Amino acid sequence: LQNMVSSFRVSELQVLLGFAGRNKSGRKHDLLMRALHLLKSGCSPAVQIKIRELYRRRYPRTIEGLSDLSAIKPAAFNLDSSSSPVEPDLAVAGIHPLPSTSVTPQSPSSPVSSVLLQDTKPHFEMQQPSPPIPPVHPDVQLKSLPFYDVLDVLIKPTSLVQSSIQRFQEKFFIFALTPQQVREICISRDFLPGGRRDYTVQVQLRLCLAETSCPQEDNYPNSLCIKVNGKLFPLPGYAPPPKNGIEQKRPGRPLNITSLVRLSSAVPNQISISWASEIGKNYSMSVYLVRQLTSAMLLQRLKMKGIRNPDHSRALIKEKLTADPDSEIATTSLRVSLMCPLGKMRLTIPCRAVTCTHLQCFDAALYLQMNEKKPTWICPVCDKKAAYESLILDGLFMEILNECSDVDEIKFQEDGSWCPMRPKKEAVKVSSPQCTKIESSSVVSKPCSVTVASEVNKRKVDVIDLTVESSSDEEEDPPAKRKCIFMSEIHGSPTKGVLMYQPSTARVPSVTTVDAAAIPPSLTDYPVPFHHPPISSISSDLPG
């Protein structure tokens, strides 16, 4: 009985301890210690019967004795020659097949069979006891895939059982499609660019660890090789390069085997899986009929789930900004960006996972498109898991985006309110490039005093730099250079030292001749003809 209990998994130990009225929570080691202590302290006959029952359920009796094998061989292996149904023959082994029974024949002469045989070699039970056999159909649950809807189970999770002590193992499985399933696959065919064809309804093969404690992710055994109807199925992606001479495992993902499946209800399909066995690791395979979804469909489903009430987010803001009495530092406001961290563009559909603690949102459409290409389901803000099921559309951010269209950042206050964070504008944009390009430095408006001319003298380095650097093309085109800035009197203080040109009512302004001493010597030597004649003589050019 101790050996039986020692071979139990967590689920069996919990059933046993629950039956005996003991605590069934904790890790496997604790459960095992409790169960063994129950045995040592002398358990009732009912508990002993329960242990045997659980053991029988955990390890179904294998076919013992060669006489039994010889009795079953003709029943199981003459399917090649006869077209009679399999069910009557299976009664010999006491196995009741399911509509899509997984198949594991060991004899190469029997491609179709629905009986699980241990081995057909006569010496297998003589020298050593066979290792404990995992259940044919373990109670394995696979993690749901957001981009696939399961329409039907073709082969339910089935153990990849070791049949010998050799390293490389091989198992055969068979499934058949109904006429309705064949029709669904055929009408879903989509022609893609480049002459490729793809099906949105697919036959999907999934492999995972035969672990029943929680939903399993796709996981490949070592040295995996899959054949569908005798044709090798290429595994997706690239195997990572060997590390220290050890072969690295491929990342697991679901396998779309539709292209190699016989789309006929008359002919069954055979899958051959070979792998390298690992001590202490059992794997499970299953086949499903699925419909592939697009990111647009998932976005539509997300919108149909509804928008999270803005009060949820306001409560979260208040909670984050509530002063902690033990802390010396108090957060009084939170700055949040309205730009998506994925696309660096303004959010359109603000979304985050309920499992995340931050307020920052990302764009739902972009996030789903990225996971459609490579499903990682990692939050781009905090790098934690953000599964599709946990995504929500944030109502508060929706309101903010609708109310302010010209702001990229906002600030939340302690009471849950928010205000836009606009960039600080410069006081007066006087120092624009056009202002510094005033060539007619000797044209001074009447209201200006001579101090302006002296200011120009002080800042003559600026004027020289700007004019000397002008290219010869600009010199040939004088009108482009003669831009004058018109400013009102009220801007008096910021424009100190900037020459102003105030036109009178007439097109030609009245211009005073300024003393030559006020003009910097560098300007009088300037080669452009514009500077040589006296200013009063060129006033007729100004209207042009």
| 213, 304: one domain | no
CA distance 284 to 205: 11
Q: How far apart are CA 32 and CA 441, in angstroms?
A: 97
| Alpha-carbon span 169 to 411, nearest angstrom | 61
Q: Which pLDDT score is estimated for 435?
A: 42
Of 290, 291, 287, which is closest to residue 98 (Cα–Cα)? 287
Amino acid of residue 92? V
pLDDT band with cut points at 50, 70 and 90 for residue 2: confident
Same domain, 304 and 274: no
CATH of the domain at 154: 2.60.120.780
Torsion of CA 45, 47, 49, 54, to 10 degrees: -170
**Residues 6 or more apart in contact with residue 144 via CB below 8 angstroms:** 150, 215, 389
477: pLDDT strictly greater than 60: no
Asked if residue 458 has pLDDT above 60, the reply is: no
How large a percentage of the chain has pLDDT more than 90? 31
Band (250; pLDDT cuts 50, 70, 90): confident
Note the pLDDT of residue 179: 95
Whether the predicted pLDDT of 248 surpasses 90: no
Q: What is the 3-state secondary structure (H, E, C) of 201-226?
A: EEEEEEEEECCCCCCECCCCCEEEEE
At residue 163, the pLDDT reads 78
Q: What are phi and psi of 227, to 5 degrees?
A: -120, 135
Asked whether residue 387 is assigned to any structural domain, the reply reads: yes
Spatial CA neighbour of 104 closest among 173, 169, 164, 161: 173
| Residue 392 dihedral angles phi and psi, to the nearest 5° | -135, 150
Regarding whether 303 and 213 lie in a shared domain, the answer is no
Q: How confident is residue 421, by pLDDT bands cut at 50, 70 and 90?
A: confident
> Could you say which of 398, 420, 442 is where a domain stops?
420
Say if residue 206 is in the same domain as residue 310. no
More confident residue, 102 or 356: 356
**Mean pLDDT across 388-417:** 89
- The arithmetic mean of pLDDT across residues 379-384, rounded, is 93
Band of the pLDDT at 504, cuts 50, 70, 90?
A: very low
Q: How far is CA 393 from CA 15, 286, 364, 372, 495, in A?
A: 41, 34, 8, 19, 51
Residue 354 DSSP code: T
Which range of 134-138, 315-319, 361-365, 428-432 scores highest in mean pLDDT? It is 361-365
Contact 535, 513 (CB under 8 A): yes
Distance CA 335, CA 407 (A): 12
For residue range 309-345, list pLDDT tens digits in order: 999 888 888 888 886 667 777 677 888 999 999 988 9
Final residue belonging to a domain, choices 369, 401, 420: 420
**407 vs 508, residue with greater confidence:** 407
CATH number of the domain at 34, please: 1.10.720.30
Evaluate if residue 114 carries a pLDDT over 60.
no
Residue 215: predicted pLDDT: 92
Computed on alpha carbons and rounded to an integer, the radius of gyration of the chain in Å comes to 41
> Which residue, 373, 391, 420, sits at the end of a domain?
420
> Which residues, listed in sequence order, are joined to residue 378 by a DSSP beta bridge?
385
Per the domain annotation, does 528 fall within a domain? Answer: no
The pLDDT of residue 512 is above 70: no
- Residue 139 included in any domain: no
Is residue 452 within 8 A of residue 497, CB to CB? The reply is: yes
The position carrying tokens 């979260």 is 316
Instruction: Report whether pLDDT(301) > 70.
Output: yes
**356 and 312, same domain (yes or no):** yes
Average pLDDT over residues 451-466: 46
Q: b/e for 221-242, b at 16 or more Cβ within 10 A?
A: bbebebbbbeeebeeeeeeeee
Q: Which domain holds residue 347?
A: 298-323+332-420
Alpha carbon 262 to chain centroid distance?
33
What span, in angstroms and rounded, lies between the C-alpha atoms of 78 and 107?
12
Residues 350 and 380 both lie in one domain: yes
Kindly state the helix (H) or strand (E) to which residue 362 belongs, with its residue range: strand 362-363
Q: What is the pLDDT of residue 226?
A: 96
Check if the beta carbon of residue 240 is closer than 8 Å to that of residue 166. no
Q: Please indicate, yes or no, whether residues 282 and 372 belong to a single structural domain of this protein.
A: no
Distance CA 162, CA 117 (A): 11
Q: In this predicted structure, what is the pLDDT of residue 260?
A: 95
Domain total in the chain: 3
481 in a structural domain: no
Residue 455 in this model has a pLDDT that exceeds 70: no
The DSSP annotation for 216-257 comes to BPP-PPEEEEEEETTEEEPPSS-PPPPBTTBPPPPPP--EE-
Residue 97 belongs to a domain: no
Residue 501 has pLDDT above 90, yes or no: no
Write down the pLDDT at residue 516: 59
Please answer whether residues 115 and 78 qualify as being in contact, where contact means their C-beta atoms are separated by less than 8 angstroms.
no
Mean pLDDT calculated for residue range 223-251: 84
Per-residue pLDDT, 462 = 47
Q: What single-letter DSSP state applies at residue 403?
A: H
pLDDT at position 10, please? 86
Looking at the structure, do residues 305 and 225 belong to the same domain, yes or no? no
Shared-domain flag, residues 356 and 271: no
d(CA 360, CA 337): 7
Confidence band of 524 (pLDDT split at 50, 70, 90): low
Instruction: Give me the mean pLDDT over the 395-405 stretch.
Output: 90
Q: Is residue 256 part of a domain?
A: yes
The answer as to whether 517 is a domain residue is no
For residues 45 and 162, membership in a common domain is answered with no
Q: Which residues have CB under 8 Å from 40's CB, separation 6+?
A: none
Q: Is 2 domain-assigned?
A: yes
The pLDDT value given to residue 166: 84
Q: Please, what is the average pLDDT of the chain?
A: 73
One domain, residues 178 and 207? yes
Q: How confident is the model at residue 191 (pLDDT cuts 50, 70, 90)?
A: low
Q: Is the dihedral of CA 532, 537, 543, 544 positive or negative?
A: negative
Answer yes or no: do 405 and 304 share one domain: yes
